[in-house]
Amino acid sequence: MKFTDEDYYLSQVFYFLIAITTIVTVHELGHYLVAKFFGVKVEKFSIGFGKVLCSKTWNDTTWCLSLIPLGGYVRMLDTRLGEVDEVEKQYAFDLQAPWKKILIYFAGPFINFVLGVLLFSLVFYHEGITSLKPEVNMVAIDSLAEKAGFQEGDYIIKINQKLVKDFSDVSILTMENLENGLQYEVIDASGQPQIRKVDTEKYPQEVRSILLGKSGFGLYPHRVTNEIEMVSPDGPASKAGLQADDIILELNHEKVENYTNFASIIRNHPSQKIDVLYQRGGEKFETVVIPDSLLEAKNSRPIGKIGVQNKIDEILAKKNSDIYYPNLLESVKMAFGKVGYFSKQILFLLGRIVVGKSSLVNISGPVTMASYANETAAIGLMTYLAFIAAISVSIGIFNLLPVPILDGGGILFSFIEWVRRKPMSDAERAFGTRLGFLFLVLLMFIAFSNDFVRIFG
């Protein structure tokens, strides 16, 4: 079956909507359940914002599905929003004790963390934990890793004096120190200790490209082969008749030894004809492919792309990886650790952004999320569930920020009321709400701008 670009974009939208609807529903359900527990009347429960598409009243609450699926809300009875009958004031949210309001606000983010734990537990229990040795088996062409002198077979021991246990540590420590310079202590393929250094201040464009997610640092634990795994619909390779499982033997009559050789020839021939000799089902065939010309993010020079993803060397991948299958209790324990670590990383990044040590390009919008949703779903259900878990935790952390309009702002206002023993004035709340609204508008502008840059450069 051939998939078109329209199918691809519809797939992105579909998997994004499934993910965001699940996360928002769970979040708002947290507010709803705790509010009902304390006897607060919930007038409306909406998934999405804007025009109501459909609604149903049940248990004194109007349940709605609204047009813009980028959030949701629960609207509780509140004397500040209109007249309330005297007999119903006991059910009004704003007249509850501050500690009750704090718990109602906190319930939404809390249940996002619970969802994260549940989904990560399921993923760990079903898929196991894969640990990759910190061994470099491929270095990307013209990457920062190549500039640092990395070679295939380098075994990474330390990064900026911190011990490395597996390849996930390599990825994490590289990103954490990307803007401050990197020093890797390695054992090369011949068994000799080496130092690989990167002064990232010399390569601002490359660093920005990595932070935008448009390129990587260039270190890979797997070796990529010259066998095709996936072909993008309507891309140059597809138009040339190439298919999954084809093995590329020659490009422009030059023998293709490995993926590095393959990628180099494609990159260096944007919008130029390339003669291709490939093998399919034991037989050899010839075709001509004309790579698309794309501007490389890091230096704005044109490079060729044909729209394929190549297979990794499975034998080497198995040799360099260990899989451990935890029992259910261990899976839950590891999921708590994962959520805790992930939360710590998000707060660390937010802190660096606030003090100006990390770029705003780290903030992603719904377009990037939709792309990740589609990519993870294409890999498999468990990978997609892990993506939903990660986004759920991120939304939980974000909503706890002490910003009016967000749950964290409501917690802050309620705490101030608790300490002062009186509610904040309408003027104080209105001022805070305006600041919160401006913050969200600015954040959305940055997120959508970053999405635009990621797509169009």
347-358 per-position pLDDT tens digit: 887 877 776 666
Instruction: Please report the pLDDT score of residue 433 as a whole number.
Output: 84
d(C-alpha 136, C-alpha 216), whole Å: 14
d(C-alpha 81, C-alpha 424), whole Å: 15
Angstrom distances, CA of residue 25 to CA of 32, 69, 102, 339 = 10, 11, 20, 20
State the pTM of this model: 0.73
296-325 per-position pLDDT tens digit: 655 567 888 898 888 877 777 777 778 889
Residues 6+ apart with CB under 8 A from 165: 131, 134
In this structure, what token pair is assigned to residue 117? 């734990």
Residues 6+ apart with CB under 8 A from 443: 363
Report CA torsion sign: 176, 177, 182, 184: negative
Q: Of 243-257, 306-320, 417-431, which range is least confident? A: 306-320
Residues 6+ apart with CB under 8 A from 204: none
What is the mean predicted confidence (pLDDT) over 436-451? 82
Instruction: Please report the pLDDT score of residue 183 as a whole number.
Output: 92
155-193 per-position pLDDT tens digit: 999 999 999 988 888 988 888 888 788 899 999 999 999
Q: Of 4-18, 100-114, 387-401, which range is least confident? A: 4-18
Using alpha carbons, select from 274, 265, 267 the residue that is nearest to residue 239. 274
Amino acid at site 304: G
Higher pLDDT, 212 or 182: 182
Domains of the chain: 99-128+326-457 (no CATH), 138-221 (2.30.42.10), 224-312 (2.30.42.10)
Mean pLDDT rounded to a whole number for the chain: 86
* Catalytic residue status for 28: yes
Angstrom distances, CA of residue 340 to CA of 114, 337, 356 = 11, 5, 24
Instruction: Please report the pLDDT score of residue 1 as a whole number.
Output: 44
184-204 per-position pLDDT tens digit: 999 999 999 999 998 888 888
Higher pLDDT, 233 or 455: 233
Which pLDDT band, with edges at 50, 70 and 90, does 45 fall under? Answer: very high
Instruction: Please report the pLDDT score of residue 261 as a whole number.
Output: 79
**Active-site hit among 6, 28, 43, 254:** 28
Rg (CA), the chain: 26
